[in-house]
Amino acid sequence: MMQRAELGKRTGALHSRHLRDVRPDFPALNQQVHGKPLTYLDSAATSLKPRAVIDAVASVYAADCGNIHRAVHTLSERATERYEGARARIARGIGAARPEEVVFTRGATEGINLVAASFLPSIAKPGDEVLLTSWEHHANIVPWQQAAARLGLHLRVARLPIDRAPVAEDVLSHVTDKTCFVAFTELSNVFGVGLPAQEILQALNARGVASLVDGCQGVVHRSVDVSALGADFYVFSGHKLYGPTGIGVLYGRYERLAAMAPYQTGGDMIETVSFEASTFAPPPSRFEAGTPHIAGAIGLAAAFDYLEAHAAEHTLSEALTRDFEDALAAEEGLALLGPRPAHTGIFPFVCPWGHALDIATFLDLEGVAVRVGHHCAQPLMAELGVTSTLRVSLGIYSAPSDLSRFLTALRSVRQRLA
């Protein structure tokens, strides 16, 4: 077991290397929960928001509250400029070749559904196969199930190991001559362990197999360059990346997007409308029917700016992962699940001495927020032989004090439930 003195020495050294304490930037941390200082360890579910993002969203409604692409008055023009500026900022941040490859969605879930509904029918024929992995979030399973049922396709699953990090062959060995599409997570939201995405995609591209990468966790913990990565599609949600809820991004190679039919129809995605027929705008407008989440897109761009300005602090916060992992692995009465080391700040675990829901409830009474449940990954939970786990996940604002508070609270809960 790691000695407390050693842990304190390591975490103390880590904190002293911080270029800047970013915690004051996050207003949500300046509160107490049940009379205790908030210890927020649920960033993989949704991250807290920095003041810069909150202010960016508020400024839209306070000063630039006009609809986009629809008027020539000043508020509309300013809102349009900021909205399209956000698209360009995010395209640059993820390495897209052009802003038009960025489609704003309500989140990663809508992006996946869009591809399943608009792209898959254009390449699949009855009897073809769609390949997923056993580590997928429900959002990267159910849309493909539904699409396969509609189109007469077969859904295949690459069973990834639960005791080591996956290698490319764990996925590629399941690709057949009938495989028309592969969708997989870049980084597991359960384990915090990544797949060798670029190696997998290079092989798929060589075989002419289309692909989608769920980047919800990857975009938070990895440097993303979608052009170099090689995926046809890449999705992520803003709320996990310190941005607003209800906004996400579907990146698509422009030639793929240009060949796709609309996903939803209505205002702002058309070129012409008559009662006889309609014609549609080119991407990305084609896939953004109706008034979009203007403030959300602008807030997400502000999150990209914030992370770029605090790249050193973000990178340094990842080093705290090692301290958490060592401490959790050494903690008596706690069993970490999945491959190790995790390399990111996501840790699922069970405690034989208590039900996960009870433990999470009592941790909340100590001011400690963790995730409990199946993490929208029921097939993986079944493979692990559990129905529910606890999960600790870190963010840019996580600090060594969070670890000590968590361990103190967990030990207190154990004594209460013993």
Annotated active-site positions, please?
376
- Torsion angles phi and psi, residue 73, rounded to 5: -75, 165
The pair of three-digit structure tokens given for residue 150, joined into one six-digit string: 């509609």
Chain position carrying tokens 């390949």: 131
Let me know: does 212 contact 231? Beta carbons within 8 Å: yes
Question: Among 253, 261, 244, which residue's Cα sits nearest to residue 212?
Answer: 253
Using DSSP, how many helices (H) and how many strands (E) does the chain show? 16, 17
Q: In a 3-state reduction of DSSP, which class is residue 41?
A: coil
- Whether residue 339 is preceded by a cis peptide bond, meaning omega within 30 degrees of 0, is no
The angle subtended at Cα 407 by Cα 405 and Cα 413, nearest 5°, is 100
Listing DSSP states for 20-66 in one string gives: ---GGG-GGGSSEETTEE-EE-BTTT-----HHHHHHHHHHHHH---
Listing DSSP states for 108-139 in one string gives: HHHHHHHHHHHTHHHH--TT-EEEEETT--GG
Q: What is the CA radius of gyration of the chain?
A: 22
